[in-house]
A and B are shown apart, each in its own frame.
Chain A
Amino acid sequence: MTYIPQRPPVQYKGLSLVIARLATWLGGIVIPLLLQLAWPVFIAAIVVIVAFVWVVGRFINPLLPWIVRDFIVVVGLLAFACIVAIIGIWGERKVAGRIQSRLGPMRTGVWHGWAQSLADGLKFVQKEDLIPREADGPLFRLAPYIALVPAFCAYLALPFGVGWVFRDADVSLLFVLAMLAIEVLGVIMGGWASNSKWSLYGAMREGCQLVSYEIPMGLSLLAAVAATGSVSLVQLGEAQSGGWFSWLIFRNPFLFFAFFTYYVASLASCKRSPFDLPEGESELVAGFHTEYSGFRFVMFFFAEYVAMFAVSALATIIFLGGWHSPVGGPSTPLWFLIKSTFLVWVQMWIRWTLPRIRIDQVMHACVKYLLPFTLLLFLGSSLWQLIDNPTHPVFEGFAHLLHYGLGVIGLLLLGLYFAGMVYGYWNRNRLVGQMARKHLPGA
C-alpha cells in the first residue's frame, strides 16, 4: 500500500470565513466574468477613475487640500517604487544573461521579455499560501511587511530634485538611514519564525552583517555631512550645484574614498553579492526566506530592489551631485534617475562577477578594515573643513589643487568606463562569445 499523506481539512471560522467566501466569489465568479468582457471593463474602469478624481477634486480638495496632495504623492511614490522593483528585476535578469553570454528573458512581452516581471508577479499572486506547521504564525506573517514597508518609507524623504520631495525634513538623511535599518528586524523575524535551522542561519548571519555594516555606511555619509554642515538631503544636493567639479565626491580626498566605502557598505546592507551570505543560494537554499512562497516572497524580493535603488539614490544625492547636471544644463530629476540607475547597474555587475564572501571574513572586513578606515575618513573630512578656509592660504591653495585633481581623476575614470564599454562591445564575440555556434554540421 503506498503511503499517501493525509492533510487535515481546512476550516475557516469567523472573519476568515467571510474573507474566504469573498475571495471565492471574486476569484471564481466576478473576475472571470470581467475577463470575458475585457474591453467594456477597461473603458468602464477609466470612467470610474475619472469620476472618482472629479468627485475628489470637487468635494474633498477644497476642504483638505493637503490630504489630497499627500495621498496622490504617496501613491505616486509607491507606484514609482514598484516600477523600480519590477524594472530592476527584469534588468537584473537581462544583465545577468548578457554577462553570462546568454540573452535573458526574451518571450514575455514581444520586446526582450519586458513583461517577465509582470508575469512572475501574476504567478506569485496565485500561489498557494504555505506556512510551515511549526512556524511562529504571527511573526511569520508579519516579517515580510516589516522588511518591505520601511524600504518604501525611505522614499518619503528622498528628494528627486528641488521641490520633488514628499517631505523636506531637516534631518532627512538620518530618516532615510533609519528606515533602511529597520529591514533587519523583518529579516531576523522571518528567519526565526520559519522554524527551520537553515533559515535561522540566514537570519543570524544577516543580523550580524547588516548591523555591522550600518556603521561604516553612516560614517562615510557623515564625512559628507561634515563637508557641507547639513543633514538635510536637499541642502546636501544643492551644495553641489556647480557642475562636475562641485560634486562632493571630489571636494577632498577623504570624501573620494568615502564614496567607495559607502558603496561597499551599502552592498552589504542590501545583502547583495559579494555579501549575499544571508540568502546564500548554494549553501542555505534561500537563507531566511526559504520557507516563504507566493506573495510573501515577493515582498522580500521587492524589498531588496527597493532598498537597492534607495541606497543608490542616497549615494547619488550625497556624492554624485544629485539632480544636477555635470555638463551645465538644467538640473532635472532625470539626471538623478540616470545616476541612480547607473549605480544600481554597477551593483548588478558586481553581483554577477564576484563570488561570495564567508561570514567571518565579512565581519573581519567590517570591523578590522572598513570601520577604522571610515573613522579616519570622517576625521579627515572634518579636519579638512577646519583648515580649508581663507585663514590658511597655503593649505587652501593645496586643497584647491587636490580638488581639481580629483575631478580630473574622476573624469579619467569615467572615460575609462566608456572606453571599456566600447572595447567590450567591439570585441563581444571574442570576449563573451555565444552559446550558439554556426559552424557545426547541421547548424
Chain B
Amino acid sequence: MKEIELHSQPDLLHDGEVPSDIRTEEIMLNMGPQHPSTHGVLRVVLQTDGELVLKATPYIGYLHRCAEKIAEKVTYRQFTPYTDRLDYLSAMNNNLGYALAVEKLGGIEVPPRADYLRVIFAELNRIASHLVAIGSYGLDMGAYTPLVYSFREREWIMDLFEAACGARLTCSYITIGGIREDVPEGWVQQCREFLDYFESKIADYNNLLSYNHIFVNRTANVGICPADLAVAYGLTGPCLRGSGVAWDLRKATPYCRYNEFDFDIPVGQGANGTLGDCWDRYFVRVLEMVQSVRIIRQALDKLTEGPVQTKVPRIMKLPAGVVYYEVENPRGQLGFHLVSDGGTSPYRLKIRGPSFCNLSVLPVLAPNCLLADIAALIGSIDVVMGEVDR
C-alpha cells in the first residue's frame, strides 16, 4: 500500500496525468453469429478499449451450404435455384449472372424480348434489394420507421414477381436461354403504376432518414474508405462507388442490352462529410434506385413482342472450356468462373460473391471506430451472408 501524500498546494503541473499504475483492460467482445445488426450470421470479434474498437476480426462460414460442390453434381439447369439462394435478396440478378455465364460458354443467343424483360426484372430486384439495405440500415441506427416504409414498397415489387413467376424471393425466373415464361397480361401496366408510385416515396426516405441530422451525424465521417484502398481490397458496387470511383459494369462492359439505355452512375461525393464514408455508400444506394426506375421505364417502352426463350435441352452439355462472367449485382460484381469438361454438370463453378470481397475491408476500417460505429460500418457495407459463405 503506497502512502497517500497530501499536498497543501495543488500540483497543477502534473494535474490531469493518470498515474501509470492504474490498470485498464481491453475487452474482447463477441458480436456473435446471432446479433441484430450483423445482417445475417456474421461473427465479429472485437477488441475494445471501453467504447473504442482496436481490432475487428470477422469470422464467416456459418451459412456455408456447399453450393460450389453441389454445382459439380447437378446439371446446368438444375443449378439455377441454387443461384437464387446466394444473395437471397437479389435472386433475379444472380440468376442473370449464371445464365449469362452459361450462355457465353455455350454460345446461346437469347431473343430480344427476353433481354428487355431480364433487364426489367434485374432492376426491379435492385430496387427491392436497396430498399432492404436502406430500411435495415435505418433500423441499425435506431430509426424504426423507414424499415417498415421500405418494406411496404418492397411488397409491391414482391407482388409483381409473384404475378410473373409465382415466387416472391427465390424466383429462378431468369434461366439459361431466356426467361422461364412470359409475364401475364396487365403486368406491364402494373409495373408502370408501381414506378409512378415509387418515385415520390424516395423523397420520403430522404426526408426521414438521409438528411436527418442525427442520421448524418451517425454515419458521416465514419468508416472512411479512400478510393485506392477500396480498389485494392476488391470492393465493388455501391461500396466502391461511394468512395468516388465511377465504375459500374453496366456501363464499362455492358451486357444484356444495357448499352441501349440512358442512365447515370451515382458516385459518392463526400456531400455530408468525407468522401468514402458510410453516408456516401448509403446515399449511392438511394440514388441508384432512382436510376433503376429510369432504366425500367426505358425497357418497358422498348419491349418487343416475340418469344422469351431459346430452347435448350433439359440436360444440356456445354463445350469444354472456361469462362468468367461478372454482372453488376446490387451489392457489387457477382462473378461466375465456370469450367466445363464437356459433361452435363459444370466441372468447377467458382462463385465470386461481392459481399465476400466487400467484407474483407472490415478489419481495415474498423480500428479507431466507436462500438456504435461498427454497426454503422457493417450496415453500410451491406453484406448478405448467403453470398459470403455460399
Contact = CB atoms under 8 A, between A and B. Distances in A.
Interface stretch (A243-251, A276-284, A371-379, A420-428): A276-284
Interface string B157-191: 00100010000000000000000000000100010
B152 A441 contact: no
A355 B36 contact: no
Contact of A441 (B186, B215, B372): B186
Interface string B132-172: 00000011111111001100100110010001000000000
A359 B214 contact: no
A441 B185 CA distance: 10
Contacts of B190: 440
Nearest to A283: B375
Contacts of B51: 201, 359-360
The CB with the most chain B CB atoms within 10 A, among A276, A356, A437, is that of: A356
B148 A101 contact: yes
B372 A358 contact: yes
Name the prevailing secondary structure of the A interface residues: loop
Contacts of A440: 159, 163, 190
Nearest to B219: A355
B217 A358 contact: yes
A100 B159 CA distance: 20
Contacts of A282: 36-37, 139-142, 375
Contact of A102 (B29, B148, B208): B148
Contact of B370 (A96, A356, A358, A441): A358
B144 A358 contact: no
B372 A355 contact: no
Interface in A105-142: none
Interface string A339-365: 000000000000111111111110000
A430 to B, nearest CB: 9
B372 A283 contact: yes
A209 interface: no
A201 B215 contact: no
Greatest chain B CB density within 10 A among A285, A359, A440 is at: A440
B141 A356 contact: yes
A100 B148 contact: yes
Nearest to B222: A358
B218 interface: yes
A435 interface: yes
B253 interface: no
A285 to B, nearest CB: 6
Nearest to A276: B142
B231 interface: no
Contacts of B143: 353-356
Contact of A356 (B152, B193, B218): B218
A274 B140 contact: no
A360 B37 CA distance: 20
A357 B218 contact: yes
B141 A435 contact: no
Which bracket fits the contact residues of A? 20 to 34
Given A282-B36, A360-B370, A440-B190, A355 B27 contact: no
Query: Which of A102, A277, A283, A357 has the largest count of B CB atoms less than 10 A from its CB?
Result: A283
A24 to B, nearest CB: 34
Contacts of B35: 285
Interface in B209-230: 209, 212, 214-215, 217-218
B365 interface: no
A252 to B, nearest CB: 29
A283 B37 contact: yes
Interface residues of B, number: 37
Contacts of B156: 437
A277 B163 CA distance: 42
A401 to B, nearest CB: 33
B371 interface: yes
Contacts of B36: 281-283, 285
Contacts of B159: 437, 440
Interface string A6-30: 0000000000000000000000000
B45 to A, nearest CB: 12
The listed residue with most B CB atoms (<10 A of its CB), out of A280, A351, A358, is: A358
A285 B35 CA distance: 7
B115 to A, nearest CB: 26
Interface in B187-211: 190, 193, 208-209
A355 B218 contact: yes
Interface in A233-284: 273-274, 276-277, 280-283
A441 B29 contact: no
A252 B117 CA distance: 66
B148 A361 contact: no
Nearest to A354: B214
Contacts of B372: 277, 280, 283, 356, 358-359
A99 B143 CA distance: 12
A272 to B, nearest CB: 11
A197 B27 contact: yes
B75 to A, nearest CB: 34
A200 to B, nearest CB: 8
A440 to B, nearest CB: 5
A280 B144 contact: no
Contacts of A355: 138, 141-143, 209, 212, 214-215, 218
A442 to B, nearest CB: 9
Nearest to A434: B152
Nearest to A439: B193
Contact of B152 (A101, A274, A357): A101
B288 interface: no
Contacts of A361: 217-218
Nearest to A277: B372
A358 B37 CA distance: 15
B283 to A, nearest CB: 15
A393 interface: no
Nearest to B30: A197
Contacts of B148: 100-102
B373 interface: yes
Nearest to B138: A355
Given A101-B152, A353-B208, A355-B138, A201 B371 contact: yes
Contacts of A351: 144
A357 B35 CA distance: 20
Contacts of B145: 99-100, 352-353
Contacts of B209: 355
B214 A357 contact: yes
Contacts of B138: 355
Contacts of A353: 143, 145, 208
A353 B371 CA distance: 23
Interface in A368-406: none
14 contacts: A101-B148, A101-B152, A201-B371, A280-B142, A352-B145, A353-B145, A355-B142, A356-B218, A357-B218, A358-B217, A358-B218, A359-B370, A439-B193, A440-B163
Given A276-B142, A354-B212, A356-B218, 17 more contacts: A100-B149, A273-B142, A274-B214, A282-B140, A282-B141, A283-B371, A283-B372, A355-B209, A355-B214, A357-B214, A357-B218, A359-B51, A359-B372, A360-B370, A361-B217, A435-B155, A437-B156
Q: Ordered nearest first, which 10 A-B pairs have the shortest CB separation?
A: A356-B142, A100-B148, A355-B143, A355-B141, A355-B142, A282-B37, A358-B372, A282-B36, A282-B140, A355-B215
Interface of B: 27, 29-30, 35-37, 51, 138-145, 148-149, 152, 155-156, 159, 163, 186, 190, 193, 208-209, 212, 214-215, 217-218, 370-373, 375
